[in-house]
Amino acid sequence: MTDANAQEKLPYNLIPTNLKGVSSFVPPPKGTDLTKADRGTLLKHGLWMRRPDPDREPKLFAMWHRYVTEIWTEENFVPPVFEVTKDTPHNLKGGRRHTNGSYTSFSWSGVVVVGQWVGAMGMWQVPEVSRPNTPAGPSRVWQSSSWVGLDGAGGLIPGTTTTDVLQTGTAQNVWTPPRQRESRPAYYAWYEWFVTDYQTVSDQFPYVYPVNITSPAVHPGDEISAIVQYVKHQDDDPANPIPPAGPYHFGGLMLTNVTSGKPICNLALKPPTGASFAGDSAEWIMECGSDTMPSFSSVTFHSAGACNVNDAPPEANAGVALGNAAQVNFEGTDGIETSVTAGLATVTINYIDT
């Protein structure tokens, strides 16, 4: 299926990108008032998450209102610039459940909520990273990333089975050049739709590897908003119910730099071969992509939640508060390097210097 054919399947205003299988939503024409638009109109302009209730969710509504009036505008839109990589994917790389009921992983740290989800969202500040006391190994790079995702818990948490994961967020790495002592941090946005057989299908679906978004830029301290969603075909009436029941046909990613007021990306991705659309977990993760974490400032995901086919947030009948969900800590070569706490709609991950 070509990008052009993919666009015909969605009732959205899309433009092709330089990456096969990826199309970008575009803002509505100047003068369009999205604050009063119905659900179908919002969907056609790439706003496929529900409109927050201004009384029950004032902070989320304020963010939504700013997005549709200031950020997601024709004059503010710049097509994102992608850099396809062969970097290590952001999938769960082993883990174990301990006798006290806690979980550790060799890559993930954060919260996994089990259920039947079609969307997940969260906001956080890009953490500042620096060289830790533990060595980086031959690569001389300490890698970390903060992200929101759907699926991928892979059986570590009871009730989950899928290993494919749709995800987007920011990367925070530290690199020490050869023969130098001074370390250099690097910050950028990225997305990925990992599947188990990613190496085999990467020619057709290059975004099974992490895709770096080199422009617009992100910086430590920037407030980031991320939304991931499973999306349907045009003829499946995506506006009823909200979000619609499956089957799903595309993945949607929306990443925003709230601090700069710039949309980073708002994309529709053709599912790679092996994507399940199971939705059996949603995640808010601080991940290590190397043997050990860089030292990082505390990361707090707030306004964090997942929605099911009834559009209910986790604290309602769709599931449980995030404080009651499964908490996972990263276990590096020198021991456990993170500490996780969670509340109703928040997840905080702190670095432990080993």
Are the CB atoms for 265 and 81 separated by under 8 Å? Answer: no
pTM: 0.91
What pLDDT score was predicted for residue 280? 92
pLDDT in tens, 64-98: 999 999 999 999 998 888 998 999 999 999 999 98
Residue 1 — pLDDT band, cuts 50, 70, 90? very low
Q: Is residue 69 part of a domain?
A: no
Q: Is residue 34 part of a domain?
A: no
What tokens were used for 52? 């927050």
What pLDDT score was predicted for residue 7? 41
What pLDDT score was predicted for residue 103? 96
Are the CB atoms for 296 and 348 separated by under 8 Å? Answer: no
Region 331-347: mean pLDDT is 92
Q: Considering only 10-24, 125-139, 164-178, which range has the smallest mean pLDDT?
A: 10-24
Residue 257 — pLDDT band, cuts 50, 70, 90? very high
Single out the residue of 173, 203, 205, 211 nearest to residue 82, CA to CA.
211
Q: Is residue 198 part of a domain?
A: yes
- Which residue range(s) make up the domain with 323? 82-351
Distance CA 150, CA 153 (A): 9
Buried b (16+ CB within 10 A) or exposed e, 25-38: bbbbeeeeebeebe
Are the CB atoms for 265 and 211 separated by under 8 Å? Answer: no
How many domains does the chain divide into? 1
Q: Is residue 15 part of a domain?
A: no
Region 134-156: mean pLDDT is 88
Region 323-343: mean pLDDT is 92
Q: Is residue 340 part of a domain?
A: yes
What pLDDT score was predicted for residue 78? 86
Q: Is residue 152 part of a domain?
A: yes
Q: Considering only 130-144, 147-161, 305-319, which range has the smallest mean pLDDT?
A: 305-319
Q: Is residue 96 part of a domain?
A: yes
- CATH at residue 219: 2.60.120.700
What tokens were used for 252? 């949607």
Q: Is residue 51 part of a domain?
A: no
What pLDDT score was predicted for residue 236? 44
